């Protein structure tokens, strides 16, 4: 693979809780840099960011001006909000129920709608709230992402690589094994973000992280390897376990 155009900023911390704290501090710095303006944040789901949401609720409650944050999701599963699989539902339980945010700041995927309608409605919500670039793509200030052991990110899976170049803002996708329907941001939208930050922890991700960061030949088959925002601000926050085989 071409290594010259792919150079993520790697940040390696001893443990998962250290990764969560580093991201929380990064969020505070980004808010400072935005000088009183709003911060449009796309959240990821899955297991990795749960520590972050707990930490923000417990230790950053009084360190953040919550009224400036606007929450969106990079992907969600088409399940009710009280289902344990709901990415929004998890953030509600761990964060929103404990910090001063208003309903108007929170923009979950409308999973009560039929899937294609939900994707269209979510795209419209995003375009209504966010500034756009010259291609009409919304600009998230921070797009926080995770990566599955299969190399998927948001809900762009190795068998749905076409979503990396899809011209829509959001699309419906089927989880390759469970068949669960999801709504995801597409590749062009993720890559239009002002900043993309991957949070990846644990030794189940070690091999995949190394293949992508070291630009091994197989890397092209993993959706996460194609996330490289045009802003150049691509950060990978890793714990030592996930980074164990990265050649610095
Ligand atoms: O299915 C999903 O997986 C990825 C990675 O999740 P993790 O459990 O391995 O941390 C996540 O980023 C995505 O939002 C989620 O829907």
The answer as to CATH 3.30.930.10 being correct for domain 9-58+68-239 is no
Closest residue by CA, ligand 1 atom 2: 46
Q: Which atom from ligand 1 is nearest to the alpha carbon of 199?
A: 10
What is the distance in A from the centroid of ligand 1 to the CA of 148? Answer: 6
Whose CA is closest to atom 16 on ligand 1?
Answer: 45
Query: Which atom number of ligand 1 is nearest to the Cα of residue 182?
Result: 16
Residues with CB under 6 A from ligand 1: 44-48, 74-75, 87, 145-148, 154-155
Q: What is the pLDDT along the chain (248 residues), one digit of tens a residue?
A: 555 578 899 999 999 999 999 999 999 999 999 999 999 999 999 888 999 999 999 999 999 999 999 999 999 999 999 999 999 999 999 999 999 999 999 999 999 999 999 999 999 999 999 999 999 999 999 999 999 999 999 999 999 999 999 999 999 999 999 999 999 999 999 999 999 999 999 999 999 999 999 999 999 999 999 999 999 999 999 999 999 999 86
Residues forming beta bridges with residue 182, ordered by sequence position: 77, 173
Strand order in the sheet with 39-43: 9-13, 234-239, 196-200, 142-145, 39-43, 69-73
> Measured in angstroms, how far is the CA atom of residue 2 from the centroid of ligand 1?
27
| Residue of minimum CA distance from atom 7 in ligand 1 | 46
Please give the number of the atom of ligand 1 that sits closest to the Cα of 204. Answer: 9
Question: Dihedrals φ, ψ of 75, to 5°?
Answer: -160, 155
Cα distance between residue 44 and residue 72, in whole Å: 9
Task: Tell me the pTM.
Answer: 0.96
Q: Do residues 45 and 51 touch, judged by C-beta distance below 8 A?
A: no
Residue whose Cα lies nearest atom 6 of ligand 1: it is 46
Among 192, 190, 186, 191, smallest CA distance to 173 is for 186
**d(C-alpha 246, C-alpha 30), whole Å:** 27
pLDDT at 4: 57
Task: For residue 35, report the distance from its CA to the centre of ligand 1, in Å.
Answer: 31
In the chain, where are the structural domains located?
A: 9-58+68-239
Closest atom of ligand 1 to 200 CA is 10
Task: Give the residue whose CA is nearest to atom 12 of ligand 1.
Answer: 146
How far is Cα 70 from Cα 130, in angstroms, rounded to an integer? 10
**What pLDDT is recorded for position 15?**
97
- pLDDT at position 247 is 84
Name the residue among 92, 90, 72 with its Cα closest to residue 154: 72
What letter does residue 221 receive in the DSSP assignment? G
């Amino acid at each position: 693979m071409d290594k010259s155009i792919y150079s993520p900023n790697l940040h390696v911390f001893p443990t998962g809780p250290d990764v969560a704290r580093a991201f929380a501090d990064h969020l505070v710095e980004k808010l400072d840099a935005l000088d009183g303006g709003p911060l449009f944040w796309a959240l990821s789901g899955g297991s990795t960011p749960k520590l972050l949401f707990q930490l923000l609720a417990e230790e950053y409650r009084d360190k953040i001006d919550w009224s400036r944050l606007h929450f969106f999701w990079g992907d969600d599963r088409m399940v009710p909000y009280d289902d344990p699989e709901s990415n929004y539902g998890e953030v509600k339980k761990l964060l929103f129920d404990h910090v001063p945010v208003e309903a108007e700041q929170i923009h979950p995927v409308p999973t009560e709608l039929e899937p294609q309608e939900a994707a269209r409605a979510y795209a419209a919500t995003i375009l209504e709230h966010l500034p756009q670039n010259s291609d009409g793509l919304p600009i998230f200030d921070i797009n926080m992402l995770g990566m599955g052991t299969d190399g998927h990110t948001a809900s762009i899976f190795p068998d749905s690589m076409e979503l990396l170049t899809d011209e829509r803002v959001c699309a419906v996708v089927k989880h390759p094994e469970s068949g669960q329907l999801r709504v995801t941001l597409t590749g062009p939208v993720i890559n239009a973000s002002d900043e993309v930050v991957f949070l990846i922890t644990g030794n189940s991700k070690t091999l995949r992280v190394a293949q992508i960061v070291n630009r091994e030949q197989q890397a092209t088959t993993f959706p996460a390897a194609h996330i490289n925002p045009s802003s150049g601000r691509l950060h990978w926050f890793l714990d030592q376990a996930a980074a164990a085989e990265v050649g610095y």
